[in-house]
Amino acid sequence: MYQYFESREALVNIFLLIDSRIKPMKSDLDMIDWLGERGIPFALVYTKADTRELKQCKINIKLFEDKLSETWEELPTRFVTSSEERKGKEEILEYITAVLNNE
């Protein structure tokens, strides 16, 4: 995976999926740092942020972003999504369109 990301010339963006129901994982944080160090474009997609678990999801997202803020001056683009509620779909589609149009 790492070799692919580094060598793929036509790579426009990576969506890194983060399960918002769980606290920040070291593997996710390491991957974000690795992508950032190499200047590989990416966006975070917090998944499974359904209404019935929204309070805990918000807490976990805040923990995640607080942890990122320790080493990142500016946080990466991020989206909060729920497939059950179709939350975040339009925002991600707009982002994809903007990225593809070099906006």
* pLDDT at residue number 91: 97
How high is the pLDDT of residue 84?
Answer: 87
- For all residues of the chain together, what is the average pLDDT? 92
Strand, helix or coil for residue 21: coil
pTM for the full predicted model: 0.91
Mean pLDDT of 4-18: 90
pLDDT band per the 50, 70, 90 thresholds, residue 75: very high
Contact 60, 32 (CB under 8 A): no
What confidence tens digit (pLDDT) does each residue in 14-33 have?
A: 999 999 999 999 999 999 99
Pick 11-100's CATH classification: 3.40.50.1100, 3.20.20.70, 3.40.50.2300, 3.40.50.300.
3.40.50.300
